[in-house]
Structure 1
Amino acid sequence: MTDGTRPDEPLDGTARAAARHAVVVGGGLAGITAALALADAGVRVTLIEGRPRLGGLAFSFRRGDLTVDNGQHVYLRCCTAYRWFLGRIDACALAPLQDRLDVPVLDATRPEGRRLGRLRRDPLPVPLHLGRSLAAYPHLSLAERARVGRAALALKALDLTDPALDAQDFGGWLTAHGQSARAVEALWDLVGVATLNAVARDTSLGLAAMVFKTGLLSDPGAADIGWARVPLGELHDGLARKALDSAGVRTELRTRVTSLSPHENGGWSVRVLGETLRADAVVLAVPQREAHGLLPPGALDAPERLLRIGTAPILNVHVVYDRKVLARPFFAALGTPVQWVFDRTDASGLKRGQYLAVSQSAAQDEIDAPVAELRERYLPELRRLLPRARGAEVEDFFVTRERTATFAPTPGVGRLRPGARTKAPGLYLAGAWTATGWPATMEGAVRSGVSAAEAALRALGRPRPSRLFALEEAA
């Protein structure tokens, strides 16, 4: 692999302006976004990814005749940057949004049998859009519903720019605002665990407030749910690579950066196996520990803080039945270890029966459990939740584990997350773990790529491409 520039050949000012070259390290959503943005501005871009595919932690693989996503990923209508990304890679039609928020919630604890409730919105202004749904939500008492409404209004009044929110835990705040353990389980954690990958007591109030204010209390349609109706690899690898190729980005897979250092003639030397690349700008779009290992001395004040950004796991249980057992596309559950269940039959290519994916966030207690143990735990729960599963045969059962799926949104994490710029000229950071203001989501990853590309373009003297998502447009 070579970029056509000899490592020891200095460039004069005219040549350097004409041959600006950026290296993006990491081919997840953050890296893809940064590479596209830089290329759209006329910068020559090399994207380096160690895996044999793009997409980071939102990818697909083959298992027999099935195409399997490593985990179930969804987004919301308020995820305006990720929606821009889908448009940029020509994928909007493959990952549509609900016409209107509608989440079936099954409660398995009722003595009389499971009970169905729904969280859905009406075409009314905020906060009335959820008023009827909350008033009829059967999983809370009338008094609990009233207290939820008051807490939501108090949450809406919080100032997201107040740094003190980062140091508080969301669970303590909910308790102080009259939320019962049942209300936390049946509503706040139902949403929060799926979006933040942590229960309320382990979550920064700042991040939780951002999620609930943006998703549920900003615009009536903000929380409408979207998800890929095809394998994620078709989007984040196939279509993304096509977009990168069309933009002129050189993509190198199965290639790892071993070191990064300032070049004596300006710019950067990016070392891969057996070769050194010259670059005017470098975007590190890799996980925080990997970024820490590549950062040169002095690039960040207190770089060890990157190592203090914890991680949180996500477990996915995959079950293939010999018949259809679930009539709806997805549901959430209470009173059971099961959190969210999605029908992935069509997306996987399954021709007979039904394939369900059980998505388990904040899975610290189960992430290393043997498959046999998980099978014994989850199949009876699915039979309890889905009467049609009681007479069905299980044709396949397997598990996917992402032990470091997201950064942990613990109180105080905000002060550890760095911005896109480093103290080293021409070196930028991207990744959902950086200071996007969002939790570790596909939205946060795309926003970080935009921020890093914008910072690099300003330093390179290149105009911002008109097609690039504008962060100030965010909800």
Structure 2
Amino acid sequence: MSDGARPAEAHSGPPAPADGTPRHAVVVGGGLAGTTAALALADAGVRVTLLEGRPRLGGLAFSFQRDGLTVDNGQHVYLRCCTAYRWFLDRIEGAALAPLQNRLDVPVVDADKPEGRRLGRLRRDPLPVPLHLGRSLAAYPHLSLAERAAVGRAALALKGLDLADPALDTQDFGGWLARHGQSARAVEALWDLVGVATLNAVAGDASLALAAMVFKTGLLSDPGAADIGWAHVPLGELHDRLARKALDSAGVRTEVRTRVTSLTHHGNGGWSVQVPGETLDADAVVLAVPQREAHALLPSGALDDPGRLLRIGTAPILNVHVVYDRQVLARPFFAALGSPVQWVFDRTAASGLGDGQYLALSQSAAQDEIDTPVADLRERYLPELERLIPGTRTARVRDFFVTRERTATFAPAPGVGRLRPGARTKAPGLYLAGAWTATGWPATMESAVRSGVSAADAALGALGRPRPRHLFAFEEAA
């Protein structure tokens, strides 16, 4: 049971200031979780200071400049069922810059198929669940007829799982799929095609609880739940510039390049937050930083077993970036089979490239390649792109570079659910946020925003502040 499942705070927080000044909350960390918590607290009338150690907001979903291009560190997508992240986009006035597909449509290229049979599609029809995917699955060329039928039976069994059953977290998804008749080809061509991108783990390394949540929510809950959205501008435009603008408008004091060195809890219920050259007094503190950083800042007694944060593993994501001298791909993205390439996205317009084409390869669960030298990755991936995209065979490569996030997400291994803490701690006025906390979701932008909402909600309750009504609108839409 997570800490968030028990009433850790029976108090109402520190006494209100006698002069009527607003309560003060300090949010540590300016990723999506911290930005969400800061906006929610400020919208409720709390005075908020947001502290971020990096020179920008956005956490691990950010942009940088390279040779005149604006480059995202990695490709991030979301689904229509990601109602919290969609709320976040609306709150920062960025929804139009990261639109959703009108209808799920994923081109899937098999590098090992003959030219005429290599393209398949996963797309939905305007029919109720599970019929919305029936025609697509029936025509999916990367599986045999028997494999397609077995996938349908497994999907129905998956739909019947109870996500509240703690036993699901003790099992691995790969074993469950094998017990339900899924061939190695079906795992590669369907279950891992979706699961690796959303969980950052292959089926055999993933908790059944998290995998079931992904597939039940994304593919088996609502016909449009899996429609894909992605930023058509650099991520920094959304998660840094527009987020900063929203924070400023809400009255949040935002400090970047400011790293917290310690937290001290006082007998009157207040907190002191130490940064170089300044001590901030606060009525509430939200720690919205990675689990290892949170562990280092937690005061004694804040969690029954603080060491469990260190037992939450991490998983890497490798991103390969290739700039060609001409257009080589007509589609905005595709997924690949029979190749080390996983997903390929066209980032030409978003990067500001004036001529040619810029493709980004998103490689999840990249434990075997995260430290591979760039020259070796070039030798591996450029020939693969030639197999997958015929237009690359006559194009010239202008640039090839790699971005690496060695701790991109928490590892969704079996048993991780019991390690993820809730928003509340045993220290009055101290709350946790981050995609790694107990949101029920894997490490996604959706999980990060939900964690920020949960932390803000817990803090507002303790401070005696009403919840901003619009903040929880996404829960009604879920």
Shorter chain as normaliser: what TM range? over 0.9
Task: Say whether 1:366 aligns with 2:373.
Answer: no
2:339 equivalent among 336, 339, 343: 336
1:471 Cα deviation from its structure 2 partner: 6.2
SS of the residue 1:402 aligns to: strand
Task: Say whether 1:203 aligns with 2:214.
Answer: no
The residue type equivalent to 1:205 in the other structure is L
Aligned to 2:140: 137
Note closer, same or farther for the CA distance 1:474–1:259 as it changes in structure 2 (3 Å cut): farther
Aligned to 2:256: 253
Aligned to 1:24: 27
- The TM-score, its normalising length taken from structure 2, stands at 0.96
The residue type equivalent to 2:126 in the other structure is P
User: After the TM superposition, which segments of 4 or more aligned residues of structure 1 sit over 3 Å from their partners?
Assistant: 11-14, 111-114
Note closer, same or farther for the CA distance 1:367–1:267 as it changes in structure 2 (3 Å cut): same
Aligned to 1:75: 78
State the distance in 2 between where 1:95 and 1:173 align: 35
Task: Say whether 1:232 aligns with 2:235.
Answer: yes
Q: Is contact 2:83–2:475 with CA below 8 Å preserved after alignment?
A: no
Q: Is contact 1:114–1:385 with CA below 8 Å preserved after alignment?
A: no
1:273 Cα deviation from its structure 2 partner: 0.7
1:109 Cα deviation from its structure 2 partner: 1.0
State the distance in 2 between where 1:128 and 1:471 align: 26
Any gaps of 5 or more consecutive residues in structure 2? 1-13
Aligned to 1:166: 169
SS of the residue 2:472 aligns to: coil
Aligned to 1:434: 437
SS of the residue 1:375 aligns to: helix
Task: Say whether 1:399 aligns with 2:405.
Answer: no
Note closer, same or farther for the CA distance 1:280–1:17 as it changes in structure 2 (3 Å cut): farther
SS of the residue 1:178 aligns to: coil
2:295 equivalent among 289, 292, 297: 292
State the distance in 2 between where 1:12 and 1:81 align: 32
Q: Is contact 1:281–1:426 with CA below 8 Å preserved after alignment?
A: yes
Q: Is contact 1:108–1:114 with CA below 8 Å preserved after alignment?
A: no
1:122 equivalent among 121, 125, 136: 125
State the distance in 2 between where 1:474 and 1:303 align: 35
1:12 Cα deviation from its structure 2 partner: 6.7
State the distance in 1 between where 2:391 and 2:338 align: 19
State the distance in 1 between where 2:201 and 2:264 align: 37
Q: Is contact 2:295–2:309 with CA below 8 Å preserved after alignment?
A: yes
The residue type equivalent to 2:450 in the other structure is R
2:66 equivalent among 63, 85, 94: 63
SS of the residue 2:93 aligns to: coil
1:153 equivalent among 151, 156, 171: 156
SS of the residue 2:261 aligns to: strand
1:263 Cα deviation from its structure 2 partner: 2.0
State the distance in 1 between where 2:161 and 2:304 align: 30
Aligned to 1:3: none
RMSD value, Cα: 1.1
TM-superposition CA deviations, 1:375-416 (whole Å, max 9, x none): 000000000101110000000000000000000000000000
For 1:170-319, list aligned pairs within 5 A: 170-319=173-322
Task: Say whether 1:84 aligns with 2:87.
Answer: yes
The residue type equivalent to 2:90 in the other structure is G
1:112 Cα deviation from its structure 2 partner: 5.2
The number of residues matched between the two structures is 465
State the distance in 2 between where 1:190 and 1:299 align: 39
- The TM-score, its normalising length taken from structure 1, stands at 0.96
State the distance in 2 between where 1:385 and 1:141 align: 22
TM-superposition CA deviations, 1:104-155 (whole Å, max 9, x none): 0000112557600000000000000000000000000000000000000000
State the distance in 2 between where 1:107 and 1:331 align: 11
The residue type equivalent to 2:209 in the other structure is G
Q: Is contact 2:333–2:343 with CA below 8 Å preserved after alignment?
A: yes
